[in-house]
Amino acid sequence: MAAEAEAEAEAEGRERGRRGTRWGRAVLVFLPALLVTCGFGTAVATGALATQISVQSGTDGTLVTSSLYGTDFGLVLAPEQYTKPDGTSGTRNLLRMAFAHGQINGLCIAQPQTIGPFSVVLVLTATDKDASTWEIKADNIVIDLTQAKGQLNLNGVVGTTGFTNPEVLIGADSSAITVGTPPLTGWGGSGLGGQFGWWGIKAGVAKFGPVTADVEELNILGGLQLPNLSLTVAPKGTVCKAPDPPVGSPG
């Protein structure tokens, strides 16, 4: 009996060892993602990324916010080259939205990632859990969207015949729309990279929300205040919860 018990104990130990080895390998696989998220959080907290943040991937992430408010707003239709699931190249149209100065009422971004054999979701949140505040402040926000759902309100003098410098233009030529002083560039031409002859929107003030959007790329190229930042590696299928409607107006 003693011999049998000893044999069982040895077998159990070997099994724990095998499980331990597999877990160790899993940790090694996840380590790069954990280092990236921890390093990113540390950089934001210390101000190292106070002037630029970029979230991008070959697969769309989901962006959720109660409201996005800003001044000097532009929205254009722009073509984008991308890689299809079969490996071939294609062209699709996306919406490029930009604010020179913006305020965000809570933020969640969920980005699917494949790390070795594992499918996970990288989740970034920044919120004070108060729908009456626009706690995130940022300059030169540029978001590339494949689809978005929300209410867009524009404010300013509407452009019609006779106005030389209207504050709101709807149906303007995408290729002529600029945002910021000096204008943001980097997509070809002098503006946001909109296609010549396609429609666009320009406004002095815009408020968009609650927003749920599929995001191809998010860039904040200017100053950034990102309070209560949280970065986690979550299981496949994790999503941001639906946004709460904003309360009141931004200060």
Task: Extract the tokens encoding 2.
Answer: 């003693």
In this structure, what are the phi and psi dihedrals at residue 78, rounded to the nearest 5 degrees?
-135, 145
| Residue 241 in domain | no
Same domain, 148 and 27: no
DSSP class of 107? E
Query: What would the two tokens of residue 4 be?
Result: 């049998």
Residue 247 in any domain: the answer is: no
Q: Name the pLDDT band for 71 (thresholds 50, 70, 90).
A: very high
Domain assignment of residue 20, yes or no:
yes
Same domain (yes/no): 35, 92: no
- One domain for residues 112 and 205: yes
Domain count, the chain: 2
Q: How far apart are CA 33 and CA 8, in angstroms?
A: 38
pLDDT band at residue 135 under the 50/70/90 scheme = very high
Compare 11 and 73 and report the one with higher pLDDT: 73
pLDDT in tens, 169-216: 777 788 889 999 888 888 766 789 888 888 889 899 999 999 999 988
Q: Are residue 182 and residue 138 in the same domain, yes or no?
A: yes
Given a cut of 70, whether residue 13 has pLDDT beyond it is no
Do 60 and 32 sit in the same domain of this protein?
A: no
Phi, psi of 80 (to 5 degrees): -140, 135
Task: Compute the chain's Rg from CA coordinates.
Answer: 23
pTM summary value: 0.74
Q: What is the pLDDT of residues 75-130, one digit of tens each?
A: 998 888 777 778 888 888 889 999 999 999 999 999 888 878 888 888 989 999 89
Q: Which domain holds residue 2?
A: 1-49
Do 192 and 222 sit in the same domain of this protein? yes
Q: Are residues 86 and 202 in the same domain?
A: yes
For the chain, the average pLDDT equals 76
Please provide residue 200's backbone torsions phi and psi, each rounded to the nearest 5 degrees: -155, 175
User: Residue 244 domain-assigned?
Assistant: no
Q: Following DSSP, what letter does each residue of 173-211 receive, concatenated?
A: EGGG---TTTTP--SSSSSS-PPTTSEEEEEEEEEE-SE
The verdict on residue 1 lying in a domain is yes
Q: Please answer whether residues 109 and 243 qualify as being in contact, where contact means their C-beta atoms are separated by less than 8 angstroms.
A: no
